[in-house]
A and B are shown apart, each in its own frame.
Chain A
Amino acid sequence: EGDLPIARRKSLQRFLEKRKERIVSTSPYSP
């Protein structure tokens, strides 16, 4: 974990958060 360079860590965090947003917004169970 400590070896993950900060730029990659931040990019990864953004990617995972946006991916979750996309999934939730296209889910048939989404309000």
Chain B
Amino acid sequence: PAHSQANEDTLQQRLQALIECARESWTYAVFWQLSYDFAAGEDDGGGNSSNTPLLAWGDGYYKGEEEKPMKKKPTPISAAEQEHRKRVVRELNSLISGGGGGTVNGGDEAGDEEVTDTEWFFLVSMTQSFINGSGLPGQAFSNSQTIWLSGSNALAGSSCERARQGQVYGLETMVCIPTENGVVELGSSEIIHQNSDLMDKVNSFFNPSNGG
């Protein structure tokens, strides 16, 4: 357990370093961890189940968006949708705090404040996983190739549901970089053009054989 705890902590530190040390303004970073879904495998009749490789939530770091006065605001959501998001955040606060109706750190501000589109996208992402080859992370991993989508047209026109969903929630750039045991995904509400600096950092931080 101590070793597992250390792995989780360093994973969080690597995601944070990736974003905080970058020249560009990234909104979030997620590590999709390669794992195996034994439940989804088919029983061969002899009690032996095959297993299906999938990319599941490993960890994530949400930085948020920079406030820019001239920035185009996404289409406002309905009051009902905003209330739904707030209710979910309040319930999650309660869940994390032990179900006693309290909130993280005892405060209740977090449940009353508006939940932004990118916060909601990040939260929803925690519930997702991708079979190898499917979705943005799955395609990046199975082809061992970085996928870099910048501009809302590129996201909206993608064949991947996740990219289209990201565009709806105000993202302008989504990147998936494959590593030895998963995929690093970054998203930004700004247009960020492809650069090797980010890919070099991911390669260095997330590939153990490179000393990462």
Interface centre among A4, A5, A16 (most CB of B within 10 A): A16
Asked whether, in the complex, the Cβ of B58 is within 8 Å of the Cβ of A7, the reply is: yes
Across the interface, do B59 and A23 meet the contact criterion of CB distance under 8 Å? no
Interface readout for A1-25 with B: 1 if CB under 8 Å, 0 if not?
1001101111111111111101110
Residues in A with CB closer than 8 Å to B93 are 16
Say yes or no for B161: interface residue by CB 8 A criterion.
Answer: no
Are the C-beta atoms of A8 and B123 separated by less than 8 Å? Answer: no
**Mask: chain B, 105-119; 1 = CB below 8 Å from A; 0 = not:** 101011001000001
- Known contacts: A1-B95, A10-B8. The answer to whether A18 contacts B105 by CB under 8 A is no
B96 within 8 A of A: yes
Contact call B12/A14, Cβ cutoff below 8 A: yes
Interface size grouping (class) on chain B: 20 to 34
Task: List the A residue with the shortest CB-CB distance to B9.
Answer: A10
Give A17's nearest chain B residue, CB to CB.
B104
CB-contact partner of B59 in A10, A18, A24, under 8 A: A10
Which B residues from 33 to 83 make CB contacts under 8 A with A? Answer: 33, 56-62, 64
Say whether B105 contacts A20, CB under 8 Å. yes
Docked Cα-Cα span, A23 to B57, in Å, equals 26
Q: How far is the CB of B212 from chain A (nearest CB, A)?
A: 19
Contact A20/B110 with A10-B8, A13-B96, A14-B12 known, Cβ cut-off 8 Å = yes
- A4–B110 touching, CB < 8 Å: no
CB distance from A27 to the nearest CB of B (A): 7
Q: Does B22 contact A (CB under 8 A)?
A: no
Whether A12 contacts B105 by the Cβ 8 Å rule is no
B126 at the interface (CB under 8 A from A): yes
Contacts A9-B96, A23-B109, A23-B113 given; does A16 touch B104 at CB 8 Å = yes
Task: Using CB atoms and an 8 Å cutoff, list the residues of chain B in contact with chain A.
Answer: 8, 12, 33, 56-62, 64, 89, 92-93, 95-96, 99, 103-105, 107, 109-110, 113, 119, 122-123, 126-127
A interface residue numbers (CB < 8 A to B): 1, 4-5, 7-20, 22-24, 27
